[in-house]
A and B are shown apart, each in its own frame.
Chain A
Amino acid sequence: MDSELRELYQQVILDHNKSPRNFRKIEHPDHFAEGYNPLCGDRIDIYVKVENNIITDLSFQGSGCAISKASASLMSSMLKGKSEEEAKEIFNRFHDLVTGHDISAEEIEKLGKLAVLEGVKEFPARVKCASLAWHTLNSALNEDKNVVSTEE
Chain B
Amino acid sequence: MTGPNQTSGPSGPPVIGSSSAGPIQTSGPSGPPVIGPVLLSAEALTKRFGATLALDALDLQIAAGEFFALLGGSGSGKSTLLRIIAGFEAPDAGRLLLDGRDISATPPWARPVNMMFQSYALFPHLTVADNVAYGLRRAGVAAAERAKRVGDALAMVGLEGFDRRRPHQLSGGQKQRVALARSLVMRPRLLLLDEPLGALDAGLRERTGFELRALQRATGAAFVMVTHDQEEALALADRVALLDGGRIAQLGAPRAIYEKPASRFVARFLGAANVLEGRAAEGRFESAEAGITFAGDIPPGTVAVALRPERIAILPAPADGPNRVRGTVEDVAFRGDDSLLLIRTEAGAVLRVAHAEEDGAPPARGAVVGLGWEPGDVVALPA
User: Are A and B associated in one complex?
Assistant: no
